Amino acid sequence: MLDQNTTLLIASTITVIGTLGGAISGVVLTNHHSTKLEKLKIEQEKLKRKSEIVEEIYSLLLKIDSRTMNNITYQKDVAEGLADELGCVQTLARLYLPSVTSYLVDKFLDAHGDLGVTIMLASSPRTKDDEKNITSAFKVYHASLADAYKELEKTVK
């Protein structure tokens, strides 16, 4: 009788340990899988947010360029009505896209400002040197804008 009770006790213990081990393994695996899914969701949200910021900056650059050309056409200050957009580009780039800050802040915004100063300092009537300086400033401005677009497009790919 003692052998049968001992055998039954051992079998029951093995069953309980196996059940508990399986349950614990299941919980651990489920937790691990849930953690991986959560990390994946977080990464996807970061990518989505980054894409939204790139789109916003891209749209702002289009708006800035359009208004700049309009301001020049109507002989207004180059940056007139653009303070919010220019500040927003600078803020978004510095906070969320440091990899393109040099193109957006250091090059594009500087070129935009230089274009405005060059036009403002031109004499009236304009001399050939004034025209040459303005043309040069336009080339630098448009090149920096094209570079900014390219760098933004790279960050999305």
Q: Which residues contact 45 (CB under 8 A, 6 or more apart)?
A: none
The Cα 56–Cα 27 span in angstroms is 43
| Cβ pair 107, 147 in contact under 8 A | yes
- Digit-coded pLDDT (tens) for 77-133: 999 999 999 999 999 999 999 988 888 888 999 999 999 999 999 888 889 999 999
Q: Per-residue pLDDT tens for 45-85?
A: 988 999 999 999 999 999 999 999 999 999 899 999 999 99
CA gyration radius for the chain?
A: 32
Res. 1 pLDDT band, cuts 50 70 90: low
User: What does the alpha-carbon distance between residue 82 and residue 93 come to, in Å, rounded to a whole number?
Assistant: 17
pLDDT of residue 12: 79
Give residue limits of the domains in the chain. 47-156
Tokens for 129?
Answer: 């040197």
pTM value > 0.75: yes
User: What pLDDT, on the 0 to 100 scale, is given for residue 54?
Assistant: 94
CA-closest candidate to residue 94, choices 79, 104, 84: 104
